[in-house]
Structure 1
Amino acid sequence: MERSEIKNLLILSILAGKIMLKNGAETYRVEDTIARICKSRNIDFVETFVTPTGIFLSVEHEDDLFSYIKRINSISIDLHKIEMVNDFSRNFVSTDMTISEGIKKLTMIDQGIPYKNKIRYLFAGVAGGFFTLMFDGSLLDFLASFITSSSLIFLLDQIKKLPISFFLSNVIGGIFVTFFAVILYTLGLGSNINNIIIGSLMLLVPGVAITNAIRDSISGDFLSGISRTVEAIIIALAIALGVGVTLRIIVNAFGNIDNIRSAVNVLF
């Protein structure tokens, strides 16, 4: 292979790893995918090191050493894109797909939007509502949690457009869920404010981060395991901070949430 082809191969493999990592894949899976892509084009020496915030790749070919470093700034959850990159890597390894064709396909995967916003908002509401039912909520609690959860995802989509850290976005999410749930509860939509808040907050709980932390640690990637564990703890603290501060302000102002509901019932 010529030097230009090797450079393009590094770009291709790093792009595949970036898509997987920023959409919630485990670090060992990203490393394995990058190594397989490089070795499929007769690159004998491939060394890759992946952390939750960066990818380091070095390959050696005919006494030439090539290195590539990629910084990952944002991480979200999109398991569908991870599956698509997995399928792509299998096809790339087992066929004669050119590197340029591979880069085009990965770019389409990276820029693609698998689900429309209306569908995302709908099923976010369904997820939050059924979590509320799981916590022994009523049908009115389900409806309140449905509205709150759908509105939360809409809010998070708007926050992503701003240069805000993931800690602050989760604090804002916790504040919004608590405040919005209290409003719906005072208007008579729901019978248990705790079930509404808890069910809606489940959309913010870092379940994938916790799972990946365990899987990375089991695989021997202790750095990534510790990093993801810290990430999950910080997200949990941010959610607790948002909810706790909002409830404290409301309680200090009105004494009790039920007092607000009683006042609204008297007025209307």
Structure 2
Amino acid sequence: MENKYPQTFEVIELCLLAGKIMLQCGAETYRVEDTMTRIAAALGIPNSHSYVTPTGIVFSTDDTNPAKLIRISERTTDLYKVTLVNGVSRKVSSGEMTREQAFLKLKEIENANYTFPIYQQILAASIASACFMVMFQGEWNNFIPALITGGVGFTSFIFLHRVVQIKFFSEFIASFIIGILSILFIKAGLGTQLDKIIIGSVMPLVPGLLITNAVRDLMAGHLVSGLSKGAEAFLTAFAIGAGIAVVFSFLS
């Protein structure tokens, strides 16, 4: 019994680390719980229990060990890290990786930075904005205005979020800037379809992954996580719409 509990604590730490990385990087709730359960079962804890919400993870075993809670404060989108953690989980389950090796690998994944440079993100957002404008049946003479407006709006969102940690305000101000630039392009005669330019430009701000995860969690029966992610997506959509509405109220 003396050797069992230290090993159990290490397995719990490993499971919590895997769940933390996945939840911070945009994985669905049921995927996080399933990964933690599989790792625990492969390492000798067949009857583990986990409760995952967007802001925290509770994990426990059927033994006398107390449940452990880990707090999730920052969330982003990095599906590559989710894929890497899933790979570690599969190797642990198949016996190709020991507990110590898995823990070191997860620590390496946690500390690694796989995100694209800021200029590449802005360039991708600009091109995506212009292409979305075309996809929504906009005219090609609005391509450049949508490209510039979307890029400036996404840039303002990134840097404002570093200054103001409340995501709602950075999204609101970014959409406000998009609305102003779109109207200025129209008044300068450089664009002809205001609605198409605005719709295309705000698309990089739309929480598509969050909405998808909310629906999938609700369908999987994770009501708390699904509703909370849906509420977060609603706030983002409201911030985008409110910023555009304020511009229309004063400049249109």
TM-score, with normalisation over the residues of structure 2? 0.89
CA shift at 1:93, angstroms? 2.0
Q: CA offsets, 1:121-152, max 9 Å, x none?
A: 22211211111001221223222222222223
Tell me if the contact between 1:56 and 1:69 (Cα under 8 Å) persists in the aligned partners. Answer: yes
Is 1:27 paired with 2:24?
no
2:51 to 49, 57, 75: 49
Alignment of 1:1-268 (within 5 A): 2-60=4-62, 63-110=63-110, 111-251=112-252
Residues 162, 2 of structure 1: CA spacing in aligned structure 2 closer, same or farther, 3 A cutoff?
A: farther
Q: How many residues align?
A: 249
Tell me if the contact between 2:50 and 2:60 (Cα under 8 Å) persists in the aligned partners. Answer: yes
Q: Which moved more, 1:138-147 or 1:100-109?
A: 100-109
Q: CA offsets, 1:101-134, max 9 Å, x none?
A: 3233223323322423332222211211111001
Task: Give the residue type in structure 1 aligned to 2:172.
Answer: V
Distance 2:8 2:154 in 1: 41
TM-score, with normalisation over the residues of structure 1? 0.84
Q: Among the aligned pairs, what percent are the same residue? A: 35
Q: CA offsets, 1:38-78, max 9 Å, x none?
A: 11101132000111221111124xx4314221121232222
Distance 1:58 1:41 in 2: 14
Give 1:265's aligned residue: none
Partner SS for 2:27: coil
Listed as ranges, the gaps of 5+ residues in structure 1 are: 252-268
CA shift at 1:239, angstroms? 1.1
Tell me if the contact between 1:7 and 1:66 (Cα under 8 Å) persists in the aligned partners. Answer: no
Listed as ranges, the gaps of 5+ residues in structure 2 are: none
Task: Give the residue type in structure 1 aligned to 2:29.
Answer: T
Q: CA offsets, 1:6-40, max 9 Å, x none?
A: 32322222121122112221111110011111111
CA RMSD of aligned residues (A): 2.0
